[in-house]
Chain A
């Protein structure tokens, strides 16, 4: 059997790094990226971190500081980040045999059985991704996923000494790293759990790795027990198989400001249903139930939202069917005296076509409707998303997210390419 070796490859300040690739003038300058609707800070470059700009800080609170310190500020550009992420993952896949994409900016790679030294392979991964995409990454290598996460964290934290690549399989290096890192740096141990562990004298990652796992299981449950085992080098989390089809699909967005008109909400619900249906068809599923949630603007202590769900007459992926249901639900829960800050469309109870149903006499989605949806997807694949869309989906929506500082979609729009000077 080969010694287990798992790498976690994580992009450094991913969103900021994406922006910087196409803006060499921002090399060495502080950058932040804001969440949807320009709400709060969700990505900071190293330079911005040094200026003590807090992660999650609301934009309106730090706007003045950002301006004064000349921090380049961007609205989030998911078209760009999504494309750059796909490029990064493709490059990693070309170097190692098996990867599991864990999030938009990180992936696990199984390095088991590859020729040593793996530190060198890690360096090569880092260099290759940087050269091909311009995105800097850090690499942590360890026998388990949780340790690989921690190794990556350590590689970033001690960047100067590690060069951004750290293999903590060998002892005594692993012990040294684990002893230095407080327990809340461990994957899955949040700020809520850390104080409770501290009360038991578990201060560092090393302490957790040495703890009595029976006791951990009793006090905190199986997840923390597994985390401790993983830290001790016993693999409990396998490399995932390629992602299976989702069991539910959610499309939700904040509005730029609270909306009260029925027309705006109808448009928003139609848009989100359209988006969700595209994703539903992309994974080849049908949907049996649709739920609509509206979040009222929080006034006079009224919290929570309005929600309604309705089964579809038959499992469907037809946006017209889904849209009808969604609009009915909206009519049912909409109140004229209320303003709403967010709408959410959920497709639930997904199934595959041809899957066994309880009711033999249940009507089925017609072939004509299937064909129409295929043509819709083909047209949009060829001529760009939203070329063909339900009439209620507006081209320019008044309620759409605020994205006042968005960068061009350099890699996905032919009219927004990087311009290079021949001057």
Chain B
């Protein structure tokens, strides 16, 4: 069974200062007053405000093995050098894919994470551009709103 650790509430995305007890209680002071900390921020965690971070949307089911599903949002880092084993955004012959990059003595290969999709070996005549490295994927659960 998977465990989840509760981290606390997430802050809104605008960079706001934490709200320190502007209201002065008439009765007893809040015991939490000296323990207030900045709110958690998903912006900060995913680093989406960095100039080298881009959001893209995945389409298709070839990467379900690494937890990327059709319609998921991907947080892509363009500054991070691609490494073997990374999930990358790759432009191949003008088309843009999300694949797992593998680089070894045999050369460069783009892998899917779904047995229905065969790996694609990159040949000398292929025009491959690594557009960025996928750092996070955001998946929506259930049918809310």
Question: Which residues of A does B touch, CB under 8 Å?
Answer: 24-27, 86-88, 90-91, 94, 128, 131-134, 381-382, 410-411, 414, 417-423
Question: Interface residue count for B (Cβ, 8 Å)?
Answer: 31
Interface positions, chain B 69-104, Cβ under 8 Å from A, are: 70, 73-74, 78-79, 89, 91, 94-98
B94 touches A420 (CB 8 A): no
List chain B residues, Cβ under 8 A from A86: 51
Select which of B14, B56, B129 is within 8 A of A418 by beta carbon: B56
Contact check, B55 vs A423: say whether CB atoms are below 8 A apart: no
A155 to chain B, nearest CB (A): 23
A24 and B52 within 8 A (CB): no
Interface pair B56/A422, CB less than 8 Å apart: no
Expressed in whole angstroms, the minimum distance between the Cβ of B87 and any Cβ of chain A is 10
The answer to whether A420 and B89 have CB atoms under 8 Å apart is yes
Question: B92 — nearest CB in chain A belongs to which residue?
Answer: A24
- Known: A24-B91, A87-B51, A90-B51. Is A422-B57 also a contact (CB below 8 A)? no
Residue in chain A with minimal CB distance to B131: A24
Docked complex Cα distance between A419 and B61 (Å): 13
Q: Which residues of A contact B57 (CB under 8 A)?
A: 417-420
A25 to B93, CA, bound (A): 7
Per a CB cutoff under 8 Å, which of A24, A382, A421, A423 touches B129? A24
Contact string, B41-57, partner A, CB cutoff 8 A, digits 1/0? 00000000001101111
Given contacts A87-B51, A417-B55, A417-B57, contact A422 B62 (CB under 8 A): yes
In contact, B78 and A133 (Cβ under 8 angstroms): yes
CB <8 Å contact, B78 and A134:
yes
Prevailing SS type, chain A contact patch:
helix
Chain A proximity mask over B108-143: 1 for CB below 8 Å, otherwise 0: 000010000100000000010101000000000000
Q: How far is the CA of A418 from the CA of B131 in the complex (A)?
A: 12
Q: Are A131 and B78 in contact (CB under 8 A)?
A: yes
A423 touches B60 (CB 8 A): yes
A421 and B96 contact, Cβ closer than 8 Å, known pairs A24-B129, A24-B131, A381-B14: yes
Does B129 lie within 8 Å of A132, measured CB to CB?
no
Query: CA–CA, A420 to B51, complex, Å?
Result: 20
Residue pair A132, B51 in contact (C-beta under 8 Å):
yes
In the complex, residue of chain B having the shortest beta-carbon distance to the beta carbon of A129:
B51
B-chain residues with CB within 8 Å of residue A423 when the two chains form the complex: 59-60, 62, 97, 117
Contact B96 A420 (CB under 8 A): yes
Which residue of B58, B79, B112, B127 is within 8 Å of A420 (Cβ)?
B58
Complex formed: what's the CA distance from A201 to B64 in Å?
Answer: 71
CB pair B95–A419 under 8 Å, yes or no, is: no
Q: List 30 A-B contacts (CB under 8 A).
A: A24-B94, A25-B94, A25-B95, A27-B94, A128-B79, A131-B78, A132-B51, A132-B79, A133-B52, A134-B131, A382-B14, A410-B54, A418-B54, A418-B96, A419-B58, A420-B56, A420-B59, A420-B97, A420-B98, A421-B59, A421-B60, A421-B62, A421-B98, A422-B58, A422-B68, A423-B59, A423-B60, A423-B62, A423-B97, A423-B117
The answer for the CA separation of A25 and B131 in the assembled complex, in Å, is 12
CA distance A422 to B117 in the complex (A): 10
Chain B residues with CB under 8 Å of A134's CB are 78, 131
Closest to B63 in A: A422
CB pair A414–B68 under 8 Å, yes or no, is no
The reply to whether A132 and B78 contact each other, CB–CB distance below 8 Å, is yes
Partner of B59, one of A381, A410, A414, A422: A422
Instruction: Kindly list chain A residues whose C-beta atoms are within 8 Å of the C-beta of B98.
Output: 420-422
**Residues from chain A with Cβ under 8 Å of B14 in the complex:** 381-382
In-complex Cβ contact of B74 among A132, A411, A420 (8 A):
A420
Chain A residues positioned under 8 Å from B70 (CB to CB): 422
Contacts of B63 in A (CB 8 A): 422
- Chain A nearest CB from B85 CB (Å) reads 17
* Smallest beta-carbon distance B84→chain A, Å: 19
With a cutoff of 8 Å between Cβ atoms, the chain B residues found around residue A91 in the complex are 51-52
CA distance A131 to B79 in the complex (A): 6
For the complex, give the distance between the alpha carbons of A330 and B89 in Å.
52
- Using Cβ atoms and an 8 Å threshold, which residues of chain A touch B94? 24-27
With beta carbons under 8 angstroms apart, the residue of A24, A88, A418, A421 that contacts B51 is A88
Query: For residue B56, which residues in chain A have a CB less than 8 angstroms away from its CB?
Result: 417-420
Taking CB atoms, residues of chain B closer than 8 Å to A94 are 51
* Smallest Cβ-Cβ distance to A88: which chain B residue: B51
Give the residues in chain B near A419, CB-CB below 8 Å: 56-59, 96
